Amino acid sequence: MKKDRNGRRILALCLALLFLFAGCGEQAPADTGMTEDPMETVGTETPQTEEPETEAPETEVKETEAPETETPETETPETEAPETEVPETEAPETEVRETEAPETEAPETEKAETEVEDKKDAKDDKDSKDAKESKDTKDDKDAKDDKSSGKDTKDTKDTKDDKDAKDSAKDTKDTTKDAKDDKSSEKDVKDTKDAKDDKDSKDTKDAKDTKDTGKDASKDTKDSAKDTKDAAKDTKDSTKDTKEASKDESAAKDTAKDTAKEPAKEPAKEPAKEAQGESRIYNYLNGKTCTAAERLHRPVAIMLNNLRLQLPQFGLDYGQIYYECVTEGSITRLMMLVDSYENMGTVGSIRSSRDIFADFVADHDAVYVHAGGSPQAYNIISSRYLASLDGANMYLPSTYFRDPWRLNNIGYEHSLMTNGAGIVSGIQYKGYRTSLKEGFDPPFRFYSESENHMTGGASASHVRILSTPIQTVDFVYDANSGQYLRYQYNGQKHVDGATSAQIAVKNVIVLFTDISVIPGDEKARVAVTNVGTGAGWYFTNGQRAEIAWSRASSTDKMKYAYKDGSELILNAGKTFICVVDNAAAKTIAFDYQW
């Protein structure tokens, strides 16, 4: 192809020389001016001829851009959107799309360059033909046509020096190639720009979609967060309620442990059972007819010192039921139950609790008035949630006081006193209920005052009990009053220090059980069995009857029955209960003589 082209150029050169020598000297200056800078002409012509012809590759390149919609960018597995971390997932991070455009275009560019060279050769053939026609017609039309004139000028220059023409052609080719490269570069830039625009458009769309997704996800997250917040609030309210309930429970436990505080001041239901079907309303402590309000009034149980040294006690006359049992060192202690305590005068001296007494407190649902206690007693006070007014280990602003004379003449431990106002103050301070618990079932039943029940048993005009080696107890029946008068410490009247009145009761109960010193106890305190069964005696109206006692467990109440199993029903009036060792049963006397 190059040989044909060179031949044509030589032919054109010869024709040009003939033309020059033929006398067309007028055109020489014009020709000379046109040949002064042939490269400049070529340089300006190259883009004109190649501009339309190189556009074909541009369309071809667009065809190769289709794959650039790179669905591989399904890296948007913006399945991460649900994680609500939209900002982090938006980065279609290392987008390889920008680097892919040149890779797909490289083969197309080489193809385009080949086609441009072929077209250029065809164009050169055409130019040679035009130059020949230009010679034959000798027409100035070639001068007016920049494209043909430029080619003629280039051919003229080639005529002078074949090698220069060849080099010029080579330079032209290089220039054209450079121009083509420049254009390709411009096209690449354009394509890159288009690709970038497409990418930006896609990114914008993706960003918008991601933003929408993120917005939806954010909304969902916000709603979810709101729901979570509401749930957390409900949980917090629930945790707060649970915490408050736990706090109340803990407080209740602590109170029970220290004070046996009880909830709700609610009146108790009437007992379902009455003595022998009797429907009358009576006081649970003494059996006397009373109002419903009086019946449901919660009693107090007061621990009293019974040491001979500190006699007499004060306030004994207020008692309705009395319990006596040995505590340690053959010394007995008393506990009395009082129903109408609000107006009591001075009562005392107040002493510490023992477990046998604490169980009796529970039987009567009473408020326990005491000053300290044994470990066993505190265990029952805590486990059975007794309402306790502890004068030794509890702060009570105005329940107890010290008697100055006793403090100075008998001793500190024998000087603690209380009264009705002090007990009311303590109950209010501790918040204890003042009514019997709902469903309360009393340990004793009573006949009415109009009945004076006779046991039908043998005589019991003077009952003498050897309670301990140092304590003798006498109950002497007074036929005129129908009462048993109490004596202790070998015939000493047991009297109230405030009134000098001797203890007088309608009913006397003696219970036999096992009593023994607690091994290793530093104070020689005793253990008294009160769970299980045992024997005893009941005395009233100068007569006696054998009875039995039973307690199913430490939390059950004590039950009393006749030997034949029928329920023990008491005559209306006060009752004194002595708990003694089984050994005392052999020494008891029923008609003792002074």
Q: What is the pLDDT of residue 342?
A: 97
Q: What is the pLDDT of residue 255?
A: 41
Q: Which region among 243-247, 456-460, 482-486, 544-548 has the lowest average model confidence (pLDDT)?
A: 243-247
44 and 11 inside one domain = yes
pLDDT over 90, % of the chain = 52
- Contact assessment for residue 554 and residue 548, using Cβ atoms and an 8 Å cutoff: no
Task: Please identify, among 165, 193, 208, the residue that sits at the C-terminal boundary of a domain.
Answer: 208
Span 523-551, pLDDT tens digits:
899 999 999 999 999 999 999 999 999 99
The SS3 of residue 327 is: strand
Cβ-Cβ contacts under 8 Å for 183 (sequence gap 6 or more): 47, 50, 51, 54
495 occurs within a structural domain: yes
Q: Compute the distance between CA of residue 190 and CA of residue 324 in angstroms, rounded to an integer.
A: 116
Q: Which region among 260-269, 507-516, 545-554, 561-570 has the lowest average model confidence (pLDDT)?
A: 260-269
Query: What amino acid occupies position 491?
Result: G
Residue whose entry in the numeric block shows the structure tokens 């080949």:
114
431 and 466 inside one domain = no
Span 200-224, pLDDT tens digits:
444 444 434 444 444 444 444 445 4
What backbone phi and psi angles, to 5 degrees, belong to 499?
-115, -15
| The two structure tokens encoding residue 30 | 């014009």
Q: What is the pLDDT of residue 340?
A: 95
- Contact assessment for residue 475 and residue 462, using Cβ atoms and an 8 Å cutoff: yes
| The two structure tokens encoding residue 158 | 């080639």
How distant, in Å, are the alpha carbons of 127, 376, 561 from that of 550? 141, 21, 9
Q: What is the pLDDT of residue 3?
A: 54
H or E element that contains 215: helix 162-258
202 and 285 inside one domain = no
480 and 418 inside one domain = no
Span 385-429, pLDDT tens digits:
999 999 999 999 999 999 999 999 999 999 999 999 999 999 999
- Contact assessment for residue 504 and residue 486, using Cβ atoms and an 8 Å cutoff: yes
367 and 506 inside one domain = no
What CATH number is given to the structural domain containing 484? 3.50.90.10
With vertex at residue 208, the alpha carbon angle to CA 202 and CA 213, rounded to the nearest 5 degrees, is 125
More confident residue, 297 or 1: 297
Confidence class of residue 23 from pLDDT cuts 50, 70 and 90? low
- Contact assessment for residue 464 and residue 544, using Cβ atoms and an 8 Å cutoff: no
428 and 471 inside one domain = no
Question: CA-CA-CA-CA torsion for 393, 395, 400, 402, nearest 10 degrees?
Answer: 70
Task: Please identify, among 190, 208, 226, the residue that sits at the C-terminal boundary of a domain.
Answer: 208
Q: Which region among 25-39, 284-298, 335-349, 566-580 has the lowest average model confidence (pLDDT)?
A: 25-39
More confident residue, 71 or 354: 354
Q: At what angle do helices 38-53 and 162-258 cross, to 10 degrees?
A: 50
Sheet bearing 347-348, strands edge to edge: 347-348, 416-418, 400-402
More confident residue, 329 or 174: 329
Q: What is the pLDDT of residue 124?
A: 52
Q: Compute the distance between CA of residue 571 and CA of residue 446 in angstroms, rounded to an integer.
A: 5
pLDDT over 70, % of the chain = 56
Please state, rounded to an integer, the average pLDDT across all residues of the chain: 72
The SS3 of residue 275 is: helix
More confident residue, 484 or 39: 484
What backbone phi and psi angles, to 5 degrees, belong to 124?
-60, -40
Residue 5 has pLDDT above 80, yes or no: no
The SS3 of residue 345 is: coil
Q: Count H helices, E strands: the chain?
A: 14, 22
Q: What's the rounded mean pLDDT across residues 233-252?
A: 44
Q: Compute the distance between CA of residue 420 and CA of residue 299 in angstroms, rounded to an integer.
A: 12
341 and 472 inside one domain = no
Confidence class of residue 249 from pLDDT cuts 50, 70 and 90? very low
Q: Compute the distance between CA of residue 332 and CA of residue 525 in angstroms, rounded to an integer.
A: 11
353 and 426 inside one domain = yes
Q: What's the rounded mean pLDDT across residues 171-176?
A: 43
466 and 436 inside one domain = no
Can you say whether the dihedral through the CA atoms of 220, 222, 224, 230 is positive or negative?
negative
Cβ-Cβ contacts under 8 Å for 295 (sequence gap 6 or more): 281, 282, 283, 284
Span 101-151, pLDDT tens digits:
334 343 343 444 444 444 444 445 555 454 444 444 444 444 344 444 444
Task: Please identify, among 180, 208, 236, the residue that sits at the C-terminal boundary of a domain.
Answer: 208
Q: What's the rounded mean pLDDT across residues 506-528?
A: 95
Span 31-75, pLDDT tens digits:
433 333 433 333 333 334 343 343 433 433 333 343 343 433 333
Residue 9 has pLDDT above 70, yes or no: yes
Domain containing 527 equals 462-586
Residue 273 has pLDDT above 60, yes or no: no
- The whole-model pTM stands at 0.57
428 and 479 inside one domain = no
437 and 478 inside one domain = no
230 occurs within a structural domain: no
- Contact assessment for residue 416 and residue 350, using Cβ atoms and an 8 Å cutoff: yes
More confident residue, 314 or 153: 314
313 and 423 inside one domain = yes
